[in-house]
Amino acid sequence: MAASNGGAATKVAIVGAGLTGLLTAHGLKKVPTYSLNPCNGFDVVVFERALHIADRPRDWTILIHWAMPLFKKLLPEHVVEKLPEALCNPALTYDEEAESLPVYNGETGELLFKNRLPGARRVSRQRLRAVLAKDLDDTGIIRWGKRLTELCHDGESGPVQLRFEDGSTFEADYVLGTDGSSSKVRELLFNGDEAARVHLSGYMFATAIVRYGDAAKVEEVLKAHPVAAITMAMDSVGVMYADTPEELGKWTTFWVKIWRKSVAPLPEGVGVGDKALEYLKATTKNLAEPFQFFIDWSPDGSECYIDEMKYWVSQPFDNRGGRVTLAGDAAHPMLIYRGQGFQHAILDASQYLDALIKVHEGAVTRLQAISAYDADMVERGAKAVQQSLQEAEFSMDPKTVHKMLMARQGHASEIWKCNRRVQPADSGRQPAPEATNTTDRASRAVDSFAALSTMPDNDPPRSSPDKEGIDGGAPSDASGDRSSASVPNRDPSPASPEPQPTTSPTTLTGGPAARPHAMFHEEDHDQEAADERSSVIVPAGDDHVPDEDEFALTDGYETASTGSTSVTSSIYAHTIENGRRYQHFKNGRYPIPNDDEELNREDMKHAMMLELCDGKLFYAPIGANPQKILDIGTGTGMWAIEIGDLFPTARVRGIDLSPTQPVWVPPNVDFLVDDCEQGDWLDHDVDFVHFRSLKPGGWIELQELCAEVLCDDNTMPDNDPVKYMYELSHRAFSMFGMDVTLPKSLEPLLRDAGFKNIQCVVKKVPIGPWARDKTLRLIGMYQRMAVQDLMPALPGRPFQALGLSQTESQVTLAHARSGLANLSVHRYFHYYFWFAQKPE
């Protein structure tokens, strides 16, 4: 391994000449110009199985948005200057309209909403690849026709030998797999195990690249949007190439269609060309004008492809002593929704480069640097993949589109946000003015492609991006890139102790609501499945094969909110510790952060609970017309918002220590930042509450996780690493006055407080998707993600309170992560739903 003391250049082998691999190669070649400790740099070679760049002619569009500054930083200036050659509409003047993304109902033609995308640019994937490949190809860095067969190495310190199908070999200090969704490098890292195999999603994806030869028809496309638009019930439409700006008749456009395979299976032999186009025309009817026209007008001979989208949920692997790892689609192939694939690929390339520079500078060892890179890449990649599956389900029905993250929060990434409360998608409604002293909610605009050569170096923090996204248009491919053509929802999150609500009250007032929220409709499950979920959880057998709708969420979201308003407050101050954000109000009272990672985890827990309870928001028999409802420990406010939608005539108030609730809420919902243990905020005439302050005859309900890791079938050993991590957590939280096993012992407390009609429902929740029942597998997936999302917060205040060193903490978490990946251990939690009535 090269060091900064003048040794030989470090050899890096990149497998895969897609956008991710080419971008990383440019970054590595550029290292000596910005390394803090200049060295001899990297000897980079890119191996590609195709014989030539033209061997993979299929094209689609990609939208570059929150990762634009990282993208620019990885490239040399002369390549940056050529990037406008890849723009889909290079002659366009980029104003506010051009830098937006409208979303239509394809069946009615109604504009559902429009998202602002400041600085984002849509490019042709093939043309961008050509720009990135040219210099690398001219200098012999790309070696074509190299199909990898083996990776060989001796011990933990020597080089890795790459062996190819043609009998040639190459030795490298580092190997980076960027060879797409069906990655050979990933297969070799997992020693050929099934765990590395990509999964079929059950969602079909069709793209057509069309030259109408008629300026009037192209003008109809431009009326939808001058770059691209999303159309629910079709998917997207836009400009592909505009090489002759003054001659619209010669422009090339594209359209995309996505559908469930189970609804319209694809006949054999119709996946490409005219047969594919004929099939799509025959099966796509009754769209609103002009969207139906875009398909019907497509002439024979148009490029047309149909595929089934694939995914693989990122998981830990042996990186061979820090020598071999993955990036892009090889690391986290996901469905195209939300346009996150290429953004994460760019972040992978940037963070991989940072890791190698740190090794060069002697700051860390190779194993430390690459293992840290892997941990971040796997964690955010797994979350993004799971979210893409969830978004696919939400996108299938115009009624559920507004539950998607893109509809609810727009496209901003936390890399660019000052805080979570960004203005949501533009639906024609404006939020009420904010109270003074609130933090700025404007998202930082990504630099313009047209001015890339003069863009300042503006390095974003190396943190995981939020899960908000964009659209685009191609399935996972060997390049590690994609663009998506639909919209998204905030990720729901898992379990840990709930935040204790919060002294001197500050009210977050609500008014008319634009954000649609509603409870899941109950889903019919057969009696066997219902019995299984209420007693012993039956694991999936060895012969279990997931069906095509695995991990699909339930249908049936409806929206009741019709207005919109903003949350207002002047107490958005926060405390930063160990890179995580904590509430400033009553700082130190609650040991878990309140940053975006934690808020996303809380929302995931909410979605998981709805699945667990078949869509029920509560069990207490509160009647059909409650007037006042309190949600104590409201967290992100999701439960309060949805109960407000369910009972539009009720006044709903949520209370919490942290001001983390959304800006846009129903008109009958407001939030209070306060300490629930102080009495000034209490309203003594309440019908339904999660804690106290009820009128006579009112109901209280507590929904709590008991954070004990359990197992019924002896598959969990006594020294199980996940169980051990939670035992440490119990001790840590007890030092903050919290008993995370209290939910199982609430009956005497409720009785002593004077409540009657005390009842309890207990639900088992698997930790991981190991159950036979499909709904329980989805719930288990959520719960495991909840645990994984909680883990980065534990080395902060909780484990520090126990006196654990960072090394001890990270070792504990590493073992627990490995344990969570083992689905042969059938762990579960108990969730308790206590409800009781205040005497008349």
What 3-state DSSP class applies to 9?
A: coil
DSSP symbol at 769? S
At residue 468, what is the residue type? E
Give the model's confidence band at 149: pLDDT under 50 very low, under 70 low, under 90 confident, else very high. Answer: very high
Q: Which two tokens stand for residue 593?
A: 């952060």
User: Radius of gyration over alpha carbons of the chain, in Å?
Assistant: 27
Of 389, 447, 437, 387, nearest in space to 416 by CA: 447
Q: What is the domain partition of the chain in residue ranges?
A: 10-381, 699-837
Give the model's confidence band at 137: pLDDT under 50 very low, under 70 low, under 90 confident, else very high. Answer: very high
Q: Give the 3-state secondary structure of 689-704.
A: ECCCCCCCCCEEEEEE
Q: Which two tokens stand for residue 472?
A: 């685009």
The label of the residue with tokens 């197992």 reads 711
Average pLDDT, the chain: 75
Burial class (CB in 10 A: 0-12, 13-18, 19+), 269: exposed
Please give the pLDDT value at position 538: 82
Q: Which two tokens stand for residue 379?
A: 């964690």
Q: Where are the beta strands (DSSP E) in 542-650?
A: 574-577, 580-583, 628-632
Give the model's confidence band at 371: pLDDT under 50 very low, under 70 low, under 90 confident, else very high. Answer: very high
User: Does 170 or 112 have the greater pLDDT score?
Assistant: 170
pLDDT tens sequence across 403-427: 787 777 665 443 333 222 222 233 3
Please give the pLDDT value at position 595: 59
Please give the pLDDT value at position 683: 53
**Do the Cβ atoms of 385 and 313 come closer than 8 Å?**
yes
Burial letters for 24-58: b for 16+ Cβ neighbours within 10 Å, e otherwise? bbbbbbbbeeebeeebbbbbbbbbbbbeebeebee
**Do the Cβ atoms of 762 and 707 come closer than 8 Å?**
no
The label of the residue with tokens 């762990």 reads 827
Residue 313 CA, chain-centre distance (Å), reads: 12
pLDDT tens sequence across 667-680: 788 877 655 455 55
Report which listed range, 35-49, 368-382, 637-651, is most confident: 368-382
Which residues lie closer than 8 Å to 568 by C-beta, 6 or more apart? 432, 433, 434, 435, 438, 508, 509
**Do the Cβ atoms of 632 and 501 come closer than 8 Å?**
yes
Give the model's confidence band at 328: pLDDT under 50 very low, under 70 low, under 90 confident, else very high. Answer: very high
At residue 467, what is the residue type? K
User: How many residues does this entry show for the chain?
Assistant: 840
Report d(CA 588, CA 706) in Å as an integer.
Answer: 23
User: Does 11 or 690 have the greater pLDDT score?
Assistant: 11
Looking from the CA of 579 toward its CB, the CA atoms found within 13 Å total 9
Report which listed range, 478-482, 787-791, 826-830, is most confident: 826-830
Report d(CA 593, CA 796) in Å as an integer.
Answer: 9
pLDDT tens sequence across 504-546: 333 232 322 222 222 222 333 333 344 434 467 888 776 665 4
User: Does 608 or 640 have the greater pLDDT score?
Assistant: 640
Please give the pLDDT value at position 656: 75
Mean per-residue pLDDT, 441-469: 34
Of 652, 644, 641, nearest in space to 686 by CA: 652
Q: Is the pLDDT of residue 23 over 90?
A: yes
Give Cα separations from 135 to 12, 346, 353 (angstroms).
18, 19, 19
Of 260, 263, 255, nearest in space to 308 by CA: 260
Mean per-residue pLDDT, 120-143: 95
Which range (105-119, 593-607, 638-652) has the least confidence? 593-607
Give Cα separations from 691 to 252, 634, 702, 755, 829 (angstroms).
61, 11, 7, 11, 22
Q: Is the pLDDT of residue 728 over 50?
A: yes
Report d(CA 190, CA 366) in Å as an integer.
Answer: 20
Mean per-residue pLDDT, 579-585: 48
Please give the pLDDT value at position 650: 84
Give the model's confidence band at 473: pLDDT under 50 very low, under 70 low, under 90 confident, else very high. Answer: very low
What is the enclosing helix (H) or strand (E) of 10?
A: strand 10-15
Q: Which two tokens stand for residue 330?
A: 């090889």
Which residue stretches of 560-671 are H helix?
Answer: 596-612, 638-646
Report d(CA 350, CA 358) in Å as an integer.
Answer: 12
Of 611, 615, 619, 549, nearest in space to 765 by CA: 611
The label of the residue with tokens 């569009």 reads 61
Report d(CA 465, CA 597) in Å as an integer.
Answer: 10
DSSP symbol at 8? P
Burial class (CB in 10 A: 0-12, 13-18, 19+), 615: middle
> Per-residue DSSP letters for 225-274?
-SSEEEEETSEEEEEEE-SSTT-GGG-EEEEEEEEETTTSPPPTT-SBHH
Mean per-residue pLDDT, 466-494: 32
Mean per-residue pLDDT, 724-729: 92
Please give the pLDDT value at position 263: 84
Which residue stretches of 147-183 are H helix?
Answer: none
Q: Is the pLDDT of residue 34 over 50?
A: no
Q: Is the pLDDT of residue 159 over 90?
A: yes
| Residues pairing with 230 in the sheet | 103, 236
Give the model's confidence band at 378: pLDDT under 50 very low, under 70 low, under 90 confident, else very high. Answer: very high
Report d(CA 14, CA 345) in Å as an integer.
Answer: 14
Report which listed range, 102-106, 163-167, 692-696, 808-812, is most confident: 163-167
Query: Is the bond preceding 290 in cis, omega lying within 30 degrees of 0?
Result: yes
In this structure, are strands 10-15 and 42-48 parallel, antiparallel, or unpaired?
parallel
Give the number of other CB atoms < 10 A from CB of residue 796.
18
Q: Is the pLDDT of residue 792 over 70?
A: yes
Please give the pLDDT value at position 605: 67
**Do the Cβ atoms of 316 and 821 come closer than 8 Å?**
yes
- As a whole-number percent, the residues of the chain with pLDDT over 90 amount to 38
Of 611, 425, 386, nearest in space to 519 by CA: 611
What is the enclosing helix (H) or strand (E) of 129?
A: helix 125-138
**Do the Cβ atoms of 27 and 74 come closer than 8 Å?**
yes
What is the enclosing helix (H) or strand (E) of 71?
A: helix 68-74
Domain 10-381, CATH homologous superfamily name and number = FAD/NAD(P)-binding domain (3.50.50.60)
**Do the Cβ atoms of 79 and 135 come closer than 8 Å?**
yes
Report d(CA 694, CA 650) in Å as an integer.
Answer: 15
User: Does 61 or 474 have the greater pLDDT score?
Assistant: 61
CA angle 551, 555, 558 (to 5 degrees): 140
- As a whole-number percent, the residues of the chain with pLDDT over 70 amount to 70
Give the model's confidence band at 96: pLDDT under 50 very low, under 70 low, under 90 confident, else very high. Answer: confident
Phi, psi of 29 (to 5 degrees): -70, -25
Please give the pLDDT value at position 578: 52
Q: Which two tokens stand for residue 712?
A: 């019924």
Q: Which two tokens stand for residue 157?
A: 């310190």
